[in-house]
Structure 1
């Protein structure tokens, strides 16, 4: 490839990158505007379930450790 071809490809890649960034910004804005309350409730419920399971597992591990050391 000649330096001229390299420069043209470089410019093309820069333009593509700028377009991709603008599309990502548009998608981010759309997702920020579109906040579904049903999804928020589901996510909150899932978070509570995960934290509950984590707390239960920590409790079981603590109980097992206590029984082993006793």
Structure 2
């Protein structure tokens, strides 16, 4: 893996992290505003997106570490 690829991966990780934080804020706002069945579906969907992004970040982080160790 070249330095440019590592930099691109790090930039991607930063963007994903920022997106996850924004989604978490959206979830927090929804939770604070009101509770109803429609919002519970939205929250569940947003939580799935957040967990998917976190899994992606973990995999990319592991890959970067693996490449660095090699």
Scaled by the length of structure 2, what TM-score is found? 0.49
Higher relative contact order, structure no. (Cα contacts within 8 Å, ≥ 6 residues apart) = 2
Scaled by the length of structure 1, what TM-score is found? 0.49
